[in-house]
Amino acid sequence: MRWRIFGARLRELFRLRRIDRELGEELETHLSLLEDEYVRRGLGRAEARRAARLDLGGLDQTKELVRDRRGFRPMETLAHDVRYAIRLLAKSPGFTIAAVVTLALGIGANAAIFSLVDAVMLRPLPYPEPQRLVSIWEVGYKSGARSVVAPANYADYAQRARSFSAMAAFQPAGKNLTGDGEPERLAAEEVTASYFQTLGVMPAIGRPFAPDENRDGQDDVAVISHGLWQRRFGGDMGILARKVRLDNRVYRVIGVMPEGFQAPSDARGSDPVDVLAPLVVPPEVLTNRQDHEVDVIGRLAPGVSLETARAEMTAISESLAREFPTTADTRSALAPLGADQARLVRPLLLVLLGAVALVLVLACANVASLLVVRSISRQREIAIRFALGATRRRVMSELVTQSLVLAFGGAAVGLVIALWTKDTLVSFAPASLPHLGRVALDARVLTFTTCLATLTGVVFGILPAWQVSRTRPTEVLRTTDRSVIGGWAIKSRQGLMVIEIALSTLLLIGAGLMLRSLIVLNRVPLGFEPDGVLAANIALPPSRYETPQSKLEFFENLAARLAAVPGVQSVAFANRLPLRGAWSSGFSVEPLAGQPETKPQVVVGFQSVSPGYFEVLRMRRLRGRLLDPADRTGAMPVAVVSEAFGRMVLGGAEPIGRRLHRGPNMPWITIVGVVADVRRYGGLSPVEPQVYLSAAQTEVYPLPLSELAVRAEREPVALAPAIKAAVWAIDGNQPVVNIRTLDETLSLRLRERQFQTLLFTLFAALALALAIVGVYGVVAYAVSQRTAEIGLRMALGASAARILRWILAQSLTFVATGAAIGLSAAVWLSRYVRALLFEISPTDITTYAAAAFVLMTAALLASYLAARRAVKADYSCFHKAL
């Protein structure tokens, strides 16, 4: 029954004024009726009225009693306070705008960053009961390195583990879609039949795979994405009757996934998966536990905890290690799927959240500082209210209401800022952040912002409110001297100023460290020149190009055609290009005569390249010769190695003339030249030894050729249509994908660093601006409160310069204190940014000194400007007074 009254009161809340008016009328009628009754009994009008009043009790008292029953008194008080606060704030627009804008910047930045963090790692995954999904991988017993799962192990995990209601394996397998229009390269995934059950998502149309479709010969079925169905097949309802040609093989479409379905691998930022096909594991792979090939996910059985599952999987790994002592060299590991997807970006996001929170604290300090001054001017009014019997609680709640109104005003403007900047933020965000597509200003962000605004309002409002509410009326009302309370205001504002300086020092240092890292990173020699090179991926399907020779012919034909295109300087092809991929393999080096074979097998990079490769990438030849067109099948197998090969594989010996092979029955390859080292994945990646084989010697190591690179005379992107035309002139069914300049790929690789640096610099700039405004305000106020003192000193003969020095020396004390606190905090916090830096120590002395210098210079400049205004003021009236 209680909620009924609650509901009624809630409804009344919106008509309180009318209800009140009506109550007055009703009581009047009642009174007049009683009055009439007394008149009937023989009393005079006036007397009757008096008697009626006496009978009925005080009218206002009754009204109050009824009002207590209606609506909600605390809420009315709040509404009253809010209206009062808005009226007061509207009276001083300067202060209000300054406070709201400051808070809006702080809260808006927090809302924007939170929306990003929420989408990337807080929001549950888009599957039913996502908390039960885990990612499973393997860790080398010796190396400790993380790898995907060996299919042989997966089969045992899936069979033996009882902690999971389902487990699935999958691996990316891009496929060329041909027929009906332009050939297209599709992101495809080969999955076990259990994939659908594990994720808890079934096709919206059709059926999932049956277990026996994971067998060779039965696997010509496909489930396609809603997107592909709409884009390529126009949403044809008869899709299940259709066949598609993928990599030159005919598949039956047996299902369409629901709209909005995301494959777990979509979180890697690659193109969303459009085709699911059955995973078929060849028998030889099923016996090889060192062949790590598949991603594995599991769905925990109901009620099974992560720890239980982990313990069981560890036990299974241990028994596998006993059963297959020579081959089982990894143990299993697992973690919640969502956390695992975000594991690489978690440090970045946490540091960003921390930084943006500091900006907000700074904004709070600024507004608190403004409020302190403001509260001084209200001191007299509040003293009078105390004298008239207002309670301290009432006055304080009114003052806090005022700061909450400011905070919510700031939050509203901040949300608008966040809304504007959201898309920019996402477009700058590195693709390594999973689930970027879900970044939105939704109810979760709104809730966060509301909580943040409340917290903010209380944080910056409580100090001034507390101080003012301690006002002793007699003290304030007795004196006309404002400095009694002004002194406290100066002290607390100087304290806030120290906090502001400390916080902005911290952020400046963070930004400085990241900027320096980025500069160092951009200066790292890559060993090749990415600018001016356009690259493309041409994945020739094995079903159509069965032999290595046929692939070679395709690429040689293509290279010849492109070389004739105007604007093309040189052309190269390879199995992989730097920044876009790599291949590595084990091999043995022929020992020098009379020396024993030391290292039987070493793993280094192996790339199969055309003779133009070194020219297109402008790789420096150091010794010997490069590959040339004569290095074909039939000629002596040759290789060019990188400098690191000699250093890291041969112990510093000269590689030229040495021979290597990949196995006992493989041909010997003679090293004929040495080129400079490359960092294949950009400045962040290490130098690894490389062996460059001649692509035309297909019998040596038939690595599948798939990458084309063209060095342009002018604008490389302009050559894209020419590349497509040349490919389609040879094979009209061959898709050309991932056409990008190497420059663009390089910047994508550095995107994460650029992103964090950009944001940190932005935050630091904001912090610096806020701190400077804060310092200016504090100094200006302190000077204005000391007008009398300054005037006196000047009258006694102190020069303006001397006064200026005196003021500057004072503010320098606080600025230096703040900077010192900031520097020590930075040392303490530095371990959290270590992972985000590159070859710069998190306690890099240059950066710290520079940050402190910038800050102190800026703060002193602000103090100087504020002080100069004060000193220039006219003191002549003061002279007269003396």
Note whether 15 binds other proteins by CB under 8 A. Answer: no
Q: Is 44 in the site for other proteins (CB under 8 A)?
A: no
| Residue 70 contacts other proteins per CB under 8 A | yes
For 686, counting Cβ atoms within 10 Å of its Cβ (0-12 exposed, 13-18 middle, 19+ buried), the class is exposed
Q: How far is the CB of 35 from other proteins (least distance, A)?
A: 9
How far apart are CB 52 and other proteins at their closest, in Å? Answer: 10
**Closest CB to other proteins among residues 70, 661:** 70
Work out whether 531 is an interface residue with other proteins (CB under 8 A). Answer: no
Q: Using an 8 Å Cβ cutoff, are 139 and 131 in contact? A: no
Taking the C-alpha atoms of residue 488 and residue 667, their distance in angstroms, rounded to an integer, is 87
Sign of CA dihedral 410, 413, 416, 417: negative
Say whether residue 4 binds other proteins (CB under 8 A).
Answer: yes
In contact, 308 and 178? CB cutoff 8 Å: no
User: By C-beta, is 70 or 620 nearer to other proteins?
Assistant: 70
The footprint of other proteins on residues 600-639 (CB under 8 A) is none
* 76 in contact with other proteins (CB under 8 A): no
Binding to other proteins by residue 129, rule CB under 8 A?
A: no
809 binds other proteins (CB under 8 A): no
Report the residue from 13, 43, 66, 765 that binds other proteins according to the rule CB under 8 A.
66
Cβ-contact 821, 498 below 8 angstroms: yes
Our finding on whether 51 is near other proteins (CB under 8 A) is no
Segment near other proteins (CB under 8 A); pick from 24-32, 334-342, 448-456, 702-710: 24-32
Q: Is 831 in the site for other proteins (CB under 8 A)?
A: no
Helices (H), 219-281: 226-233
- Where is 402: in which H helix or E strand? helix 392-428
Question: Does residue 21 belong to the site contacting other proteins (CB under 8 A)?
Answer: no
The secondary structure element, H or E, covering residue 553 is helix 548-563
Among 51, 56, 78, 737, binds other proteins (CB under 8 A): 56
Contact between 5 and other proteins by CB under 8 A: the answer reads yes
Q: Which of 99, 104, 97, 763 is nearest to 449 (CA)?
A: 104
How far is residue 379's CA from residue 371's CA, in Å, rounded to a whole number?
12
707-712/533-537 β-pairing: antiparallel
CB of 11 to other proteins, least distance (A): 9
Of 39 and 426, the one with the shorter C-beta distance to other proteins is: 39
With binding defined as CB under 8 A, does residue 55 bind other proteins? yes
Listed in sequence order, the DSSP H helices in 731-799 are 742-749, 751-785, 787-795
Minimum CB distance to other proteins, residue 391 (Å): 25
Tell me which of 29, 391, 813, 824 binds other proteins, using CB under 8 A.
29
- Span of 49-57, 87-95, 387-395, 629-637 interacting with other proteins by CB under 8 A: 49-57
Closest approach of Cβ 3 to other proteins, in Å?
11
List C-alpha distances in Å: 357 to 118, 412, 419, 440, 509.
Answer: 15, 18, 18, 20, 16
Q: Which of 14, 15, 21, 32 binds other proteins (CB under 8 A)?
A: 32
State in angstroms the smallest separation of the CB of 27 from other proteins: 6
Q: Is 1 in the site for other proteins (CB under 8 A)?
A: yes
Measured from the CB atom, the residue of 64 and 423 that comes closer to other proteins is 64
Residue 13: C-alpha distances to residues 17, 65, 80, 81 (Å) = 9, 16, 13, 16
By CB under 8 A, residue 378 contacts other proteins: no
| Single-letter amino acid, residue 42 | G
Rounded to whole angstroms, the Cα distance separating 235 from 851 reads: 58
Q: How far apart are CA 457 and CA 227, in angstroms?
A: 46
Is 61 near other proteins (CB under 8 A)?
Answer: yes
Of 572, 567, 573, 603, the closest CA to residue 586 belongs to: 603
What is the nearest approach in angstroms of other proteins to the Cβ of residue 80? 21
Q: Which residue has the tokens 């169905």?
A: 229
**Which are the contacts of 791, defined by CB distance < 8 A and separation ≥ 6?**
875, 878, 879
DSSP-based helix, strand, coil % in the chain, nearest 5? 55, 15, 30
Contact between 65 and other proteins (CB under 8 A)? yes
Among 18, 21, 45, 69, binds other proteins (CB under 8 A): 69
CB of 74 to other proteins, least distance (A): 18
From candidates 62, 147, 754, 817, binder to other proteins by CB under 8 A: 62
Cβ proximity to other proteins, 1 vs 593, nearer residue: 1
CB of 32 to other proteins, least distance (A): 6
Element (H, E) at 710: strand 707-712
To other proteins, the closest distance from the beta carbon of 28 in angstroms equals 7
Q: Which is nearer to other proteins, 54 or 388 (CB)?
A: 54
**CA distances to 124, 214, 815, 859 from 543, in Å:** 41, 19, 72, 70
- Give the residue, chosen from 13, 16, 20, 23, that forms a contact with other proteins under the rule CB under 8 A: 23
Q: What is the C-alpha separation between 864 and 807, in angstroms, rounded?
A: 8
Q: Where are the beta strands (DSSP E) in 24-145?
A: 133-140
Instruction: State which residue, 13 or 477, has the beta carbon closest to other proteins.
Output: 13
Instruction: Quickly tell me which residue has 């962040």 as its tokens.
Output: 684
What is the smallest separation between the CB atom of 17 and other proteins, expressed in angstroms?
16
Q: What SS3 state is found at 602?
A: strand
Query: Is 34 an interacting residue with respect to other proteins (CB under 8 A)?
Result: yes
Among 28, 216, 259, 789, binds other proteins (CB under 8 A): 28
Helix (H, G, I), strand (E, B) or coil at 735: coil
Report, in Å, the least distance between residue 477 CB and other proteins. 37
Length of the chain, in residues: 882
CA angle 93, 96, 100 (to 5 degrees): 140
152/329 Cα distance (integer angstroms)? 12
Stretch that binds other proteins, among 25-33, 318-326, 415-423, 512-520 (CB under 8 A): 25-33
Q: Which of 68, 284, 307, 874 binds other proteins (CB under 8 A)?
A: 68
Contact residue for other proteins among 13, 59, 78, 563 (CB under 8 A)? 59
**Is 133 in a helix, a strand, or coil?**
strand
Query: How near is the Cβ of 69 to other proteins at its closest, in Å?
Result: 4
Of 59-67, 318-326, 533-541, 746-754: span binding other proteins (CB under 8 A): 59-67
Residue nearer to other proteins on the CB measure, 58 or 634: 58
Q: Is 284 in the site for other proteins (CB under 8 A)?
A: no
d(CA 818, CA 122): 35
Compute the distance between CA of residue 507 and CA of residue 768 in angstroms, rounded to an integer: 9
Query: Residue 24, interface with other proteins (CB under 8 A)?
Result: no
Shortest Å, Cβ 61 to other proteins: 6
Q: For the chain, how far is it from start to end, CA to CA, in angstroms?
A: 76
**22 vs 271, beta carbon nearer other proteins:** 22
Which range in 56-64, 612-620, 649-657, 824-832 contacts other proteins by CB under 8 A? 56-64
d(CA 418, CA 427): 14
36 binds other proteins (CB under 8 A): yes
Q: How far is the CB of 53 from other proteins (least distance, A)?
A: 10
Number of Cβ atoms within 10 Å of the Cβ of 496: 25
Quick check: 196 and 278 in contact, CB under 8 A? no
Nearest CB to other proteins, comparing residues 69 and 231: 69
Is position 30 an interface residue for other proteins (rule: CB under 8 A)? yes
The contact set with other proteins (CB under 8 A) reads 1, 4-5, 8-9, 22-23, 25-30, 32-34, 36, 55-59, 61-62, 65-66, 68-70
